């Protein structure tokens, strides 16, 4: 190690300086023995949590009797040192923690010296036989011990953990090391993703992958990230949704498809929004939006039961019931239900709603805003946050649903739903618009809105229109925000708590 490297790492930190000195000693000893201070030959055969589960019902006396009879159970583990109590060392691996018992009479002097020099955060390998302490804690009676990686920086305070929110997000690896709740959150996330995949595969959906760089941003109303392809000298957009590509696959004959996808939207950051996020989108031919509401109820109930063991999911001071069926109400009726002063007549009165949006909600009203747009604004501003238990809002206006099929009885609205839990949108689904002429006209309306200054309006996608002209079967499609679903299951207040590496403002 060069003096310059030492200086950079030390950074006047006495603890780091001491660890660097220990590393130098380790390197010197390893060199004398023809070894390395960073060995890569230790292969663990057991995990901490597996051992805890396996021996959960085996008491101290039984383990001691087995050992005396020559029936010792051996284990070989590796992990990070989290506590060092002299006679007992606590290590942590990806599954949990276990203690290592240091038998000072049975271990070589060299091993005891190595153990004495350990720092919290060091990564070690250990093997020995299983025992249980007088306090009832399972341990491994050490017979062999090896330092695999020297930690040069001290862990956060062991009594208070990592409490600085910004550090937790910027240095997630530290958060995962010391905060058990964080580890559980991301274990839940992994189970949610794998659970959704298993459920849909069980329903005969096929998992696919579609492009993440688009020539035209489409599939949702959002401001895209823009990039440039040098070799082709063309502008490209990071995907805001995979919808139009997935529907092309249904045109091609894949009747049930899904994609667990990363989307990118050039929007603000909040407790519910991250510019890069994960969704599940799935499409089913010969189905309508009502079929997908039923499927969603079954899927979420299954996920809650399998992952949490209950359909009653605590979140903050509330408990949300994932036991279907969920409440279903039209947007029109929801506006009336949560705005007692409104009547059916004035909710259908554009001038009344325009004045309400402008004067009461203090929102801009553009001349291009029709009745449907104004109804949607009123719903979003006065109703959404009041939808606590799982609720499907149906019959969204056609004006704000450019890809959804119009309702046969009321062409002003579409066969569309959004699902809300805890006042937050979780899912969006609808019977797909498969009339290419109607879809082309809706795209043209979106282009007009974009020309009028709406940065989130859609482009005209001629290639998608051509695909529809070959014939899209009657189809229903849906997207579910995985990040927001994990927030509910993990009782996490912010979307940043469920994204391993959320976007942060640059430190400079």
Domain chopping of the chain, boundaries = 3-149, 180-326+389-497
Peptide bond into 325 cis (omega under 30): yes
Contact criterion met (CB below 8 Å) for 154 and 121: yes
Share of the chain above pLDDT 90, in %: 84
Mean pLDDT for 430-439 is 94
Residue 317 has phi, psi (to 5 degrees) of -95, 5
Per-residue pLDDT reduced to its tens digit, 24-70: 999 999 999 999 999 999 999 999 999 999 999 999 999 999 999 99
Neighbouring C-beta atoms of residue 43, cutoff 10 Å: 8
Mean pLDDT of 208-216: 93
pLDDT band at 297 (very low <50, low <70, confident <90, very high): very high
468: number of Cβ within 10 Å? 22
pLDDT category, 372, cuts 50, 70, 90? very high
Determine what percent of the chain is predicted with pLDDT higher than 70: 96
Q: Counting beta carbons within 10 angstroms of the beta carbon of residue 461, is it exposed (0 to 12), middle (13 to 18) or buried (19 or more)?
A: buried
| Residue 30 neighbours by CB distance under 10 Å | 15
Extract the annotated binding site for Mg(2+).
418, 425
Alpha-carbon distances, residue 484 vs 337, 388, 492, 495 (angstroms)? 26, 14, 9, 7
Question: Fold for domain 180-326+389-497?
Answer: BirA Bifunctional Protein; domain 2 (3.30.930)
Give the pLDDT confidence score for residue 3 in this predicted structure: 63
Confidence of residue 149 (pLDDT cuts 50, 70, 90): very high
Q: How many residues does the chain have?
A: 508
- H or E element that contains 28: helix 14-32
pLDDT of residue 459: 84
Determine the Cα–Cα distance for residues 28 and 332; give it in Å rounded to an integer.
Answer: 76
**pLDDT, tens only, 42-51:** 999 999 999 9
Contact between 217 and 224 under an 8 Å Cβ cutoff? The reply is yes
For the chain, give the mean pLDDT: 93
Q: Is the pLDDT of residue 160 over 70?
A: no
pLDDT at 4 over 70: no
Binding residues: 418, 425
| Measured CA distances, 478 to 190, 195, 300, 442, 454 (Å) | 21, 17, 14, 19, 24
More confident position, 288 or 86: 288
- Domain range 3-149, CATH class: mainly beta
Partners of 80 in the β-ladder: 92, 123
Residue 2 — very low, low, confident or very high, per pLDDT cuts 50/70/90? low
Q: Which of 3-7, 84-88, 283-287, 438-442 has the highest mean pLDDT?
A: 283-287
> For 162-190, what is each residue's pLDDT tens digit?
677 888 899 999 999 999 999 999 999 99
Token pair for 36:
């390395």
Q: What's the pLDDT score for residue 14?
A: 86
């Amino acid at each position: 190690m060069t003096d310059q490297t030492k200086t950079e790492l030390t950074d006047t930190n006495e603890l780091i300086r001491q660890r660097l000195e220990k590393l130098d000693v380790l390197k010197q000893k390893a060199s004398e023995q023809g070894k390395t201070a960073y060995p890569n030959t230790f292969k663990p055969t057991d995990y901490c949590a597996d051992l805890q589960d396996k021996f959960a019902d085996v008491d101290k006396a039984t383990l001691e009797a087995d050992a005396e009879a020559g029936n010792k159970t051996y284990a070989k583990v590796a992990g990070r040192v989290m506590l060092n109590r002299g006679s007992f060392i606590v290590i942590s691996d990806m599954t949990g923690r276990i203690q290592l018992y240091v038998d000072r009479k049975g271990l070589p002097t060299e091993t005891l010296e190595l153990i004495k020099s350990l720092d919290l955060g060091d990564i070690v390998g250990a093997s020995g036989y299983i025992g249980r302490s007088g306090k009832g804690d399972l341990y491994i009676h050490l017979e062999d011990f090896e330092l695999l990686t020297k930690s040069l920086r001290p862990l956060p305070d062991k009594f208070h953990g990592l409490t600085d929110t910004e550090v937790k997000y910027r240095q997630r690896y530290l958060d995962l090391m010391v905060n058990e709740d964080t580890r559980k959150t991301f274990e839940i996330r992994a189970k949610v993703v794998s659970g959704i995949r298993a459920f849909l595969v069980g329903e005969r959906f096929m998992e696919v992958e579609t492009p993440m760089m688009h020539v035209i941003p489409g599939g949702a109303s959002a401001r895209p990230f823009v990039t440039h392809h040098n070799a082709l000298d063309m502008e490209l957009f990071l995907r805001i949704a995979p919808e139009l590509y997935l529907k092309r696959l249904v045109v091609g004959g894949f009747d049930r498809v899904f994609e667990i996808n990363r989307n990118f939207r050039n929007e603000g950051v909040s407790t519910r929004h991250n510019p890069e996020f994960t969704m599940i989108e799935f499409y089913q031919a010969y189905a309508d939006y009502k079929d997908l509401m039923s499927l969603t109820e079954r899927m979420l109930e299954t996920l809650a039961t399998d992952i949490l063991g209950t359909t009653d999911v605590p979140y903050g001071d509330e408990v949300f019931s994932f036991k279907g069926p969920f409440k279903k109400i039209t947007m029109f009726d929801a506006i009336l239900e949560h705005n007692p002063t409104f009547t059916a007549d004035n909710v259908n009165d554009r001038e009344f709603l325009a004045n309400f949006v402008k004067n009461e909600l203090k929102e801009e009203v553009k001349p291009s805003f029709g009745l449907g747009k104004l109804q949607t604004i009123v719903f979003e501003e006065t109703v959404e946050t009041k939808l606590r238990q799982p609720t499907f809002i149906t019959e969204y206006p056609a004006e704000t649903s450019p890809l959804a099929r119009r309702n046969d009885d009321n062409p002003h609205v579409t066969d569309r739903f959004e699902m809300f839990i805890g006042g937050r949108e979780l899912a969006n689904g609808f019977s797909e618009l498969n009339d290419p002429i109607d879809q082309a006209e809706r795209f043209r309306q979106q282009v007009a809105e974009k020309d009028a200054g709406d940065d989130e309006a859609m482009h005209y996608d001629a290639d998608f229109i051509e695909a529809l002209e070959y014939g899209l079967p009657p189809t229903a499609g849906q997207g579910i925000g995985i990040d927001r679903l994990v927030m509910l299951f993990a009782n996490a207040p912010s979307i940043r708590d469920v994204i391993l590496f959320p976007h942060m403002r640059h430190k400079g």
